[in-house]
Amino acid sequence: MDIMRFLPTLLDGAWITVQITVLAILLALFMGFVSGLMRLSGVWAVRAVASVYIEIFRGTSALVQLFWMFFVLPFFGISLDPFTVGWIALGLNVGAYGGEVVRGAIQAVPRGQYEASIALNMSKWLAMRRIIVPQALPAMVPPWGNLFIELLKATALVSLITISDLTFRAKQLNDQTFQTVEIFTLVLFLYLAIALVITGVMRIVERWTGRGLARGGIK
Amino acid sequence: MSEPIVRFENVSKRFGETVVMRDFDLDIAPNEKLAVIGPSGSGKSTLLRLLMTLEQPDGGVIYVKGEPLHHMWKNGRLVSADQKHLRKVRSHISMVFQHFHLFPHMTAIGNVIEGPIHVLGMKRAEAVARAEELLDMVGLADKKGSHPSQLSGGQQQRVAIARALAMQPDVMLFDEVTSALDPELVGEVLNAIRKIGREQDITMILVTHEMGFAKEFADRVIFIEGGRIVEQGPGAQVLSEPRNERTQAFLRAVLG
């Protein structure tokens, strides 16, 4: 029994999964930072826009969002190819959770840091960029890591809108060969391998964002 | 008295039900060294926080170099200041905090050059050169590459003093800057403040519990209670021969 003969097909699928994951992560980061910072704005309307985005994308299922963008948007004249729908829907979904991660970490920076930046006559934007966000980053990294792994697993959903990702390929092979045990065990390990890469990268990012801060330990 | 550099005019401030300043008037002369003493909750820290724009007054106007701080003139009327006006007038003032509030993700010198480079628009090389001078002045030339977490409280506070001074303020505010320090570290911070007082043309307002230091250093001491000035005068008079009985009671309680 040579389970390795399934590997090339599955790796093709895994490559699609990786591409969707990376693009969705980038979109999620962007949306997370934008919506998280907007939630902290002094302007009511800005906060409201961010809240609406976060509540809608957090409060509805990722699968329904995917279907909606794939099957409903064409009725409004917007037809996107499945791949684009896949990473945009997942990125928007995870970005909504990320918005709360960003907001929470920023609000956890001690009040004195804001006061010190006012005492240096910084503008709000400069204080955010130079003082507050750099100190909030280390606290954001672990929850973002969780979200990225959730996102990776959620990419399996895109197989339902005709994208030939890892899960799609697995089902295809299974239908052809009925080698269910071998195929899905292999798929399990491929997802795990990708997840471990994400974990490893986040460890490095955590160390990098915490440099300086980490010295002397937690106070 | 010459034109005051700072003027509180009828200032009042409330936190919820608690009135911390009422109809507060105070003129501070250029280069004056003013010590503010008073019991906890008397409004003395609020005085500094209002001046640093960390708080908004509920009534009255604070002037810095003749210009309203939280307000601006528009069609002959005082209205709330916009960010631009606030930052312009605020540029005359800098503050040192009880708990230092150094930026933990930057080195000592990183803390000192941050404002000059990003707020004053100074060239990096110039900012570094000045920061090294300032750190040397507070006795920390050898600690410039250390992060705050590697420094003692007294050293952190001296970095914070250098950081505030690097903004080239006309008025420096010191909010109980030795209260969070172990007793043996108080002296080094007070020495740094003495040195600034001697070497710089700068107005200094210090909220302090160090009565000996206030007496020796300040041109004038004001005793505040209940958001009002109860007694003021030269340190030797207010602290050694207080006339008001509330001042006397306070000093008895503090000095034991």
Enclosing H/E stretch for B34: strand B33-37
| Mean pLDDT computed over B192-197 | 93
In chain A the first and final C-alpha atoms are separated, in Å, by 57
Alpha helices by DSSP H, listed for chain B, are: 44-51, 83-90, 108-118, 124-137, 153-165, 183-199, 211-217, 235, 245-255
Q: For residue A87, is it within any domain?
A: yes
Q: For residue A207, is it within any domain?
A: no
Which residues from chain A sit within 8 angstroms of residue B118, using beta carbons?
122, 126, 130
Q: What's the pLDDT score for residue B41?
A: 80
Taking a C-beta distance cutoff of 8 angstroms, is the pair A144, B116 a contact? no
Taking a C-beta distance cutoff of 8 angstroms, is the pair B51, B6 a contact? yes
The closest alpha carbon to B165, from B177, B173, B153, B154, belongs to B173
Residue carrying the six token digits 């399990």:
A188
Which residues from chain A sit within 8 angstroms of residue B64, using beta carbons?
none
Q: What's the pLDDT score for residue B1?
A: 54
Q: What is the ipTM of this complex?
A: 0.93
Which residues from chain B sit within 8 angstroms of residue A112, using beta carbons?
97, 99, 101
Contact A126 B119 (CB under 8 A): yes
Angle, helices A82-107/A44-59, rounded to nearest 10 degrees: 120
Query: Which residues of chain A from 127 to 146 reach within 8 Å of chain B, CB to CB?
Result: 130-131, 134-135
Q: Summarize pLDDT for B78-101 with one digit per residue, the tens.
A: 999 999 999 999 999 999 999 999
Tell me the pLDDT of chain B averaged across its residues: 93
Which residues from chain A sit within 8 angstroms of residue B107, using beta carbons?
212
Q: For residue A46, is it within any domain?
A: yes
Which residues from chain B sit within 8 angstroms of residue A123, using beta carbons?
83, 87
Enclosing H/E stretch for A95: helix A82-107
Nearest to A121 among B87, B105, B149 (CB): B87
Contact A121 B163 (CB under 8 A): no
Which residues from chain A sit within 8 angstroms of residue B104, using beta carbons?
135, 212-213
Q: What's the pLDDT score for residue B42?
A: 83
CA distances from A87 to A83, A91, A131 (A): 7, 6, 32
Nearest to A213 among B105, B115, B118 (CB): B105
Enclosing H/E stretch for A32: helix A7-39
Q: For residue A8, is it within any domain?
A: no
Overall number of domains in chain A: 1
**Quick one: closest CA in A to B93, which residue?**
A119
Q: What's the pLDDT score for residue A218?
A: 40
Alpha-carbon distance B228 to nearest alpha carbon in chain A (angstroms): 25
**Quick one: closest CA in A to B95, which residue?**
A119
Domain CATH number, residue A33: 1.10.3720.10
Q: For residue A88, is it within any domain?
A: yes
pTM of the model: 0.87
Q: For residue A177, is it within any domain?
A: no
Taking a C-beta distance cutoff of 8 angstroms, is the pair B60, B227 a contact? no
Below-50 pLDDT ranges, chain A:
214-219
**Quick one: closest CA in B to A215, which residue?**
B149
Q: For residue A128, is it within any domain?
A: yes
Contact B149 A217 (CB under 8 A): yes
Q: Which band of pLDDT confidence, cut at 50, 70 and 90, is reported for residue B256?
A: confident
Q: Summarize pLDDT for A74-113 with one digit per residue, the tens.
A: 999 988 899 999 999 999 999 999 999 999 999 999 999 9
Q: For residue A132, is it within any domain?
A: yes
Q: Summarize pLDDT for B12-42 with one digit per residue, the tens.
A: 999 988 889 989 999 999 999 999 999 888 8
Residue B209 has pLDDT above 70, yes or no: yes
Alpha-carbon distance B227 to nearest alpha carbon in chain A (angstroms): 23
**Quick one: closest CA in B to A211, which residue?**
B105
Q: Which domain holds residue A157?
A: 17-161
Q: Summarize pLDDT for B132-167 with one digit per residue, the tens.
A: 999 999 999 999 999 999 999 999 999 999 999 999
Taking a C-beta distance cutoff of 8 angstroms, is the pair A41, A47 a contact? yes
Taking a C-beta distance cutoff of 8 angstroms, is the pair B212, B180 a contact? no
The closest alpha carbon to A23, from A82, A80, A69, A90, belongs to A90
Structure tokens at B64: 């810095």
| Mean pLDDT computed over B225-234 | 91
Q: What's the pLDDT score for residue A58?
A: 93
**Quick one: closest CA in B to A213, which residue?**
B105
Residue carrying the six token digits 């303020």:
B169
Q: What's the pLDDT score for residue A215?
A: 46
